[in-house]
Amino acid sequence: MPLSRPIDQLNRFTAHCDLSAHQVSCERDDRILFENLDLSINKGDLIQLVGPNGAGKTTLLRLLAGLNQDFDGEVRWHGKNIQQCFQDYARQRLYIGHLSAIKKVLTPLENLRWFVSSWPQVKEDDLWQALEEVTLAGYEDVPCQQLSAGQQRRVALARLLITPTPLWILDEPFTALDKAGVAWLEGHLARHVSAGGTVLITSHHALSEIPGLRQIELGVQK
């Protein structure tokens, strides 16, 4: 069943989405991950970071999400340094890392309730609907420890359906998903982008079928 509410809300938000990195350099353990990187992310972009393991994809993603401040250069949201407008920025972007923040003793519904607690406009019905959309209908009240890794990933991804933010930053969201899940997520990312949203993603998965995809390669210079 398609969800109507969140997409409506999205269109309201996505009048502006402007994230940019200026001369960003990052070094880990005396190894340069990237140097003087310039990046501009606008409304309707779908950007996939690709590169071998250890190339710094997650580091760049966390840095753009404002979670990592250990780098040179500047990341700006609408022309302002993200650390100076962090609260505003945080409400406009959704970050899902490879750690899903799912509590195993809680049910999918309880987990989702925590995730959306700072969005009062999200109703209880939306949560049920989102769980149905990620094919977890009937599992709403089962503790997450009894769900498979793929199902737990689906609980985390159900946030994409209910959090009204234009910018999504996703770290390896395809991990543990089955074929149907991958197809659903690809479709959902494409829908979000065509509705005016923005997606920034790391994945080893080929996303070639989505129009407007831009790839950024990391770790090429040795």
Partner 1 sequence: MSLVTATIKRDLVIAARNPGEWLNPLMFFLMVLALFPLAVDPDPKFLSKIAAGVVWVAALLATLLSLDALFKADVEDGTLEQWLASGESLFAMALGKVFVHWCISGLPLTLVAPLLALMMNLPDEAYSALFFSLLLGTPILSLLGAVGAALTAGVRSGGLLLSLVILPLYIPILIFGASAVYHAGIEMEYVGQLGFLASFLCLSMTLAPFAVAGALKLNLSR
Estimate the crossing angle of helix 108-115 against helix 124-133, to 10 degrees: 120
Q: Stretches 12-20, 117-125, 175-183, 195-203: which one binds partner 1 (CB under 8 A)?
A: 117-125
- Give the 3-state secondary structure of residue 30: coil
CB of 99 to partner 1, least distance (A): 3
Measured N-to-C along each axis, helices 179-194 and 149-157 cross at an angle, to the nearest 10 degrees, of: 10
Work out whether 114 is an interface residue with partner 1 (CB under 8 A).
Answer: yes
Total binding residues toward partner 1, as defined by CB under 8 A? 29
Q: Indicate which single residue of 6, 56, 57, 89 sits in contact with partner 1 (rule: CB under 8 A).
A: 89
Among 15, 99, 180, 206, binds partner 1 (CB under 8 A): 99
Task: Pick the closer one to partner 1 by CB: 89 or 174.
Answer: 89
Binding mask 33-52 for partner 1 (x = CB under 8 A): --------------------
Instruction: Report H helices in 75-200.
Output: 86-92, 108-115, 124-133, 149-157, 159-162, 179-194
Segments of the chain assigned E as strands: 18-28, 31-42, 46-50, 72-77, 80-81, 93-96, 167-171, 198-202, 213-217
Q: Which residue has the tokens 């479709």?
A: 187
Residue 67 binds partner 1 (CB under 8 A): yes
- Indicate whether 97 belongs to the interface with partner 1 (CB under 8 A): yes
5 belongs to the binding site for partner 1 (CB under 8 A)? no
Sheet holding 18-28, edge to edge: 31-42, 18-28, 72-77, 80-81
Q: Does 146 bind partner 1 (CB under 8 A)?
A: no
Question: Interface residues with partner 1 (CB under 8 A)?
Answer: 65-70, 86-87, 89-91, 95, 97-106, 110, 113-115, 117-118, 120
